[in-house]
């Protein structure tokens, strides 16, 4: 049925170049030294200063932030990404389990309270959220960074959809065999949900890693900066410098995108499946 | 729900407790607080607050500043949504029709999804930079003296280009999976009936993609309104001046820089109503989508 058209390939190649070129330029520029970038603009060829630039941004406190190294920011990003993904999966699986598999008086009330959170993104209640977290003394802490972000019920919603599609016969069989709710959850439901958990984990890791506005407000102490949150400071220092270290700024941008990009490319099929299925 | 359920007086509440606690403290409380403080005028030096009714709302809605921000947000949202949807649709249709290299194209076109908006913003700012940016140089060749951060139009252009770049991948993923779920029999029947590929696309494939398109429309509007914050913040380099900003950015500016708590909260509440309407439309569409299948 299908015929190959050369124009189709041309359009796709153009599209791919449009998506990739900015990142290639960022990476190539990061392999030059600051002075040559300052003189000649952004670069599209290999500059040979790869290890100089990257060891400088990873290990030297200074350059951009004076207090924190790229390595520390990488670690903080990792804590935020993993903490957010794991926390969200555990909390939302438990909640979805209760909602789908238990009969209890306040069930529909709890359901609506939780799903109301899908209505309002963090951005529209940002100021009071900030004040509450400040009042609780959670500024500049990993818990202040992670826990408020978990408040949205996206994960619970996905797991609820999935649990509803699990055949009822499994519960019946488990009950006949005398398995209680905890045993059923751990021995049957969790193993059944493996692919779903993996897909949600990938989506949530990328989402958590890429958070910007919330970390910008909650972390003022540079030792808690994530790479993505650091972008603002990196740009500020870059503007203020005599000979701006564009190569280092680009190196940090590359580091900030590397882990989520790797995760998305390596687990592409799970990720796409999770994304498309969960939106249904 | 399930036909068979467990009955246990305590367990469901214990399972729900962590989620309910987090939702209560970090969602319901701040949302209620936003609504409450939108009716009060906070003393900037922290000496209490006065109830002012709807004054904050009328102040916000009648100020020329707010009107121009709202106008820009509308244009920004419309253009970002239109271009990222149409580019993604074109690429998805082509990626669906080629045989050789199909999976390579797919990977190359979707991976940018993983890049955070502010990271995209930083790279974009550098590409459009006055001194070192190749795109600024290229525009110069065409006789366009681009001045990001100085010229209103140029700054808006830069924001939209970055926002579109960042949003094409997710639209591409959804369109492609939509296209792949169009039954082969329909495609073959259409191919027998109609020789023109373009006509076949507009009369058969496009209507079948409509549910995906509507759904993506909402996703894209939400993206342009909220998630572009990082891009806008980086393009402005923290200096809004006379540059274009979106409504969400204004909530942030007035609340955190201007210390206008009541005004910022009133703007938040207006946005809440907007999102509320969008979400309801979205849920309706999801129901319709299920109907189609």
Q: Taking CB atoms and an 8 Å cutoff, what residues of chain B touch A211?
A: 116
Residues 6+ apart with CB under 8 A from A207: A84
Identify the closest residue of chain A to B264 by CA–CA distance: A127
- The CATH class for the domain spanning B74-88+103-292 reads mainly alpha
Is residue A1, in this structure, part of any structural domain at all?
no
Are B237 and A235 a contacting pair at CB < 8 A? Answer: yes
Q: How far apart are CA A125 and CA A127, in angstroms?
A: 6
Predicted local confidence at residue A40, as pLDDT: 87
Q: Does A107 touch chain B (CB under 8 A)?
A: yes
Question: Taking the domains of chain B in order of start, what are their residue ranges?
Answer: 74-88+103-292
Predicted local confidence at residue B72, as pLDDT: 95
Reading chain B (293 residues) residue by residue, the pLDDT tens digits are 566 678 888 899 999 999 999 999 998 898 888 888 888 887 666 667 788 888 888 888 888 889 999 999 999 999 999 999 999 999 999 999 888 888 999 999 999 999 999 999 999 999 999 888 999 989 999 989 888 888 899 999 999 999 999 999 999 999 999 998 888 888 888 888 887 778 888 888 888 888 888 889 988 998 999 999 999 999 998 788 889 999 999 988 888 888 787 888 889 889 888 888 888 887 777 666 544 44
Q: Does A183 touch chain B (CB under 8 A)?
A: no
Are A264 and B6 a contacting pair at CB < 8 A? Answer: no
**Which of A70-84, A255-269, B176-190, B273-287 is the least confident region?**
B273-287
Which residue, A44, A49, A29, A247, is CA-closest to B138?
A44
Give the N- to C-terminal CA distance of chain A in Å, as an integer: 30
User: Would you tell me which residues 28-57 of chain A have a C-beta closer than 8 angstroms to some C-beta of chain B?
Assistant: 29, 37-38, 41-42
User: Would you tell me which residues 189-228 of chain A have a C-beta closer than 8 angstroms to some C-beta of chain B?
Assistant: 206, 209-213, 216-217, 228
Decide if pLDDT at A244 tops 90: no
Decide if pLDDT at A280 tops 70: no
Is residue A133, in this structure, part of any structural domain at all?
yes
Q: Which CATH number covers residue A47? A: 1.10.3720.10
Q: Taking CB atoms and an 8 Å cutoff, what residues of chain A touch B5?
A: 101-103, 171
Q: Which helix (H) or strand (E) holds B49?
A: strand B49-51
Q: How far apart are CA B160 and CA B79, in angstroms?
A: 7
Are B226 and A123 a contacting pair at CB < 8 A? Answer: yes
User: How many contacts, defined by CB atoms under 8 Å, are there between A and B?
Assistant: 316
Q: Taking CB atoms and an 8 Å cutoff, what residues of chain A touch B12?
A: 98, 102, 104, 107
Is residue A88, in this structure, part of any structural domain at all?
yes
Who among A91, A103, A234 is closest to B18 (CB)?
Answer: A91
| Pairing of β B49-51 and β B40-42 | antiparallel
- Please count the structural domains in chain A: 1
Q: How far apart are CA A108 and CA A193, in angstroms?
A: 24
């Amino acid at each position: 049925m299908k015929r190959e058209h050369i124009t189709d390939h041309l359009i796709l190649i153009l599209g791919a170049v449009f998506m990739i070129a900015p990142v290639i330029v960022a990476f190539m520029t990061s392999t030059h030294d600051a002075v040559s970038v300052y003189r000649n603009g952004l670069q599209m060829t290999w500059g040979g200063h790869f290890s100089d630039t990257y060891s400088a941004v990873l290990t030297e406190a200074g350059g951009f932030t004076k207090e924190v190294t790229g390595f520390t920011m990488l670690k903080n990003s990792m804590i935020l990404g993993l903490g957010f993904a794991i926390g969200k999966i555990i909390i939302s699986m438990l909640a979805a389990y209760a909602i789908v598999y238990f009969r209890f008086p306040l069930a529909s009330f709890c359901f609506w309270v939780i799903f109301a959170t899908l209505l309002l993104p963090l951005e529209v209640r940002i100021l009071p959220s900030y004040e509450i977290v400040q009042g609780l003394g959670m500024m500049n802490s990993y818990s202040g960074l992670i826990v408020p972000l978990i408040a949205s019920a996206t994960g619970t919603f996905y797991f609820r959809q999935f649990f509803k599609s699990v055949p009822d016969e499994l519960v019946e069989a488990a009950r006949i065999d005398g398995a209680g709710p905890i045993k059923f959850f751990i021995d049957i439901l969790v193993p059944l949900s493996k692919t779903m958990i993996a897909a949600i984990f990938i989506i949530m890791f990328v989402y958590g890693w890429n958070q910007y506005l919330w970390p910008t407000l909650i972390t003022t102490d540079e030792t808690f900066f994530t790479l993505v949150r650091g972008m603002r400071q990196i740009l500020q220092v870059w503007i203020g410098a005599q000979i701006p270290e564009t190569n280092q700024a680009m190196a940090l941008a590359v580091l900030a995108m590397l882990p989520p990009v790797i995760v998305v490319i390596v687990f592409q099929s799970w990720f796409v499946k999770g994304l498309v299925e969960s939106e249904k | 729900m399930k036909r068979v359920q467990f009955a246990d007086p305590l367990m469901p509440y214990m399972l729900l407790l962590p989620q309910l606690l987090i939702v209560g403290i970090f969602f319901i409380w701040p949302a209620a607080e936003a609504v409450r403080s939108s009716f009060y005028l906070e003393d900037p030096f922290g000496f209490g607050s006065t109830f002012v009714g709807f004054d904050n709302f009328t102040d916000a809605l009648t100020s020329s500043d707010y009107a121009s921000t709202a106008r820009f947000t509308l244009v920004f949202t419309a253009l970002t949504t239109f271009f990222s949807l149409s580019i993604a649709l074109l690429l998805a249709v082509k990626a669906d029709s080629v045989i050789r290299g199909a999976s390579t194209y797919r990977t190359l076109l979707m991976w940018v999804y993983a890049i955070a908006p502010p990271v995209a913003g930083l790279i974009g700012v550098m590409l459009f930079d006055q001194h070192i940016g190749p795109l600024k140089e290229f525009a110069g060749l065409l006789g366009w003296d681009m001045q990001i951060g100085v010229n209103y139009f140029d700054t808006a252009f830069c924001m939209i280009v970055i926002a579109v770049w960042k949003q094409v991948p997710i639209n591409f993923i959804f369109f492609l999976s939509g296209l792949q779920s169009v039954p082969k029999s329909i495609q073959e029947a259409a191919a027998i009936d109609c020789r023109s590929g373009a006509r076949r696309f507009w009369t058969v494939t496009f209507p079948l993609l409509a549910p995906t398109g509507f759904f993506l429309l909402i996703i894209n509007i939400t993206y342009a309104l909220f998630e572009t914050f990082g891009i806008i913040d980086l393009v402005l380099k923290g200096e809004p001046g006379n540059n274009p900003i979106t409504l969400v950015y204004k909530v942030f500016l007035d609340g955190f820089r201007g210390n206008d708590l009541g005004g910022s909260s009133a703007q938040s509440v207006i946005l809440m109503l907007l999102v509320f309407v969008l979400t309801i439309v979205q849920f309706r569409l999801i129901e319709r989508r299920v109907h189609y299948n």
